[in-house]
Amino acid sequence: MKIKIVTLGCKLNFAESSALMQRLADEGHTKAKQGEEADIVIVNTCTVTDTADHKDRQAIHRVRRENPNAQIILTGCYAALLQQKKDKGEPLPIADDHILEEINILKPKDLVHFVNAYSRDDRTRCFLKVQDGCNYFCTYCTIPFARGRSRNPYIKDIVAQAEQALSNGAKEIILTGVNIGDFGRSTNETFLDLLKELDRLSAPNYRIRISSCEPNLLSDDIIDFVANSHHFAPHFHIPLQSGSNEVLKIMHRRYTRELFQERVEHIKRVIPNAFIGVDCMVGVRGETDEYFADYVEFISNLPVSQLHVFTYSERANTRMLEMDLYVVPQKERERRSKILHKISEDKLAQFYAQNKGSQATVLWESKKTGNQMSGFTENYIKIYGPYCKEKINTFEHVTINV
């Protein structure tokens, strides 16, 4: 059969879609070509925000229009929550509800096994799944309900997959998961143990990036290890969500802004050129004008490189909806988002300026734009150069002039 997979959301979803396509190919199915109608379309969904839900619904309708005779299968986080609605007899938020009748979706209570996955579609980089699920249950988030409890494979299994990815030509591995710093919970190992093993793979020339890691789990030992490692990139992505301690308490986050600041300052102390990306949410319930002003002042003074800004949207069945809190008007949420986006733009420009003239190593990618190609340095600065096919998926030492 001809298969098409439509993937929305995070790097973890892309890794799982890639692994699923490979499994289907091993069973004799083929990937539908661009513009070709498929026999089966799998939509791997996301539900992190209302916007994500809206994109899921748009994708479902588009897939139905473009593949009128195909069997449509939904998987991923949004699909899991839809299944829960079905189980409770609640109305589904898409017009063609019959699409869901043929779908078999794992319910959260069934999500107890770890399924290995890594992306194979991009020869340059590989998204390697090292952990799944979350035990944190923040008051605004539905992901633990969709993904289940935290779990992971053994280090030896991840090492084997990493070795396979490198032998297939990947030069960069990105560790992904829902809460990767929680690695080891189901195997009595530690995230630091995993990093140490991945730093001594047999391939001679590769690098590894750590995706989003909670600040309370990103220990000084991990930061120091990355600083002195052979293959880990000086690149961190740390979710802050709010710069107000009062809002962090409302969110049921497991750290204070003081701890977050300590982590950032430690990174900059031992790896001065490190790129630090930060997840920031605005407009959550309870975020008063005073708390937001405090938030802005805090994030403005942090030596981070870029903000990934989310605007809060109410999620059904989350505890935040049960709390008696100030509700930020939608227009005000949008205004606050623009403020943080401007801060992010300024910080990124400053980070690039600070690194101008320094030496770095770029990994060239295959995409061609006009007569140029691009790639990223170890500290995540995008570099452009004249297109040269022979350079694709190779490292090159460069002087940063952006």
The pLDDT of 277-296, averaged and rounded, is 98
Residue 325 has what pLDDT?
A: 97
Residue 318 burial by CB count (10 A; 0-12/13-18/19+): exposed, middle or buried? middle
Residue with tokens 């990139």: 233
- The answer to whether residues 159 and 196 touch, using CB atoms and an 8 Å cutoff, is no
DSSP designation for 328: P
Confidence of residue 379 (pLDDT cuts 50, 70, 90): very high
The model's pTM is 0.90
- The answer to whether residues 291 and 241 touch, using CB atoms and an 8 Å cutoff, is no
Range in 21-25, 27-31, 91-95, 239-243 with the lowest mean pLDDT: 91-95
Provide the mean pLDDT of the chain: 91
Residue 75 has what pLDDT?
A: 86
